[in-house]
Homo-oligomer: A and B are copies of this chain.
Amino acid sequence: MFSANITSKSTSDGVVERAFTLGEVPGVIWSPEAGSGRAPLVLVGHGAGTGLGAAGVVGRARRLVLDGGFAVVAIDAPGHGDRQRTETDEREVAAVRRALRAGEPAVPIMVRYIADIAARAVPEWRAVLDSLLALPEFDGAQVGYFGLNMGTAIGVPLTAVDSRITAAVFGQFWPGTVVEAAGRVTVPVEFLLQWDDERVDRESALALFDAFASKEKSLHANSGGHKEVPRFETDSMVRFFTRHLRRPSGAEA
């Protein structure tokens, strides 16, 4: 049973966009206007400090729908987007700001805070999946997950515990609190890092890629800084999910 409430619906350039809430969690579903059968679903996780409305989320969702024929869902992470911050959120955000202002290391605080967010976000994602996959319009046998930065910190433990996710794209995060869960991920993984990332150092990102237990994994490292992930990686992501979520059809090997 889909217990989420659809709060709005609109269509733009071939993509249907439905906003919903599930309990206190706001989400959006993007799907092809010209639907043909049950679409494989791709979950898209946003980065820290943004929400499901971030340009990188909406842009990738549209490409997945239009180029891959996928349905896409994104939700606001705890303390992010349109959601209220808890006392923990307020305290940790203040601690990060204080460290940055004082020129002290902020990464350990961010990693600790993001681990707390991830612990809250994983059961939310699972509840959203329960609700959506009860609907006949989605192909529950083939679910993908995409998320960089905080989207990786949430997606790695989610993929480790939820066997409905059969392929995932991660990247740009430290091994820290995620490495143990990465060792339990066995589905195909595409992993992005920026070779000149000024936030996540190269060795840390390589160590996290190395930790995945997946038999099939690919690292894409591109020159440039943290925010300079090339646009052609969006194409690569769509092709990755097409290879893995549409494999039974034999359309692409």
Contacts and interface: CB of A to CB of B under 8 A. Distances in A.
Interface of A: 195, 206, 209-210, 214-223, 230-232, 235-236, 239, 243, 253
A223 B231 contact: no
Contacts of A222: 217-219
A220 B220 contact: yes
Contact of A220 (B206, B218, B253): B218
B214 A223 contact: yes
A219 B223 CA distance: 9
Contact of A223 (B216, B221, B232, B235): B216
Identify which of A195, A209, A231 gathers the most chain B CB atoms within 10 Å of its CB: A195
User: What 3 A-B pairs have minimum CB-CB distances, sorted nearest first?
Assistant: A219-B221, A217-B223, A218-B222
B217 A219 contact: no
Contacts of A243: 232
Stoichiometry, as copies per complex, reads: 2
Contacts of A215: 223
Given A215-B223, A219-B220, A219-B221, A253 B236 contact: no
A195 B219 contact: yes
A212 to B, nearest CB: 9
Contacts of A223: 214-218
Contacts of A239: 232, 235
A8 to B, nearest CB: 32
A110 to B, nearest CB: 26
Nearest to A188: B223
A253 B231 CA distance: 9
A94 B147 CA distance: 52
Contact of A218 (B209, B210, B221): B221
A243 B233 CA distance: 13
A246 B24 CA distance: 49
A35 B82 CA distance: 55
18 contacts: A195-B217, A209-B221, A214-B223, A215-B223, A216-B223, A218-B220, A218-B222, A218-B223, A218-B230, A219-B219, A219-B221, A219-B222, A220-B220, A221-B221, A231-B253, A232-B239, A235-B239, A236-B236
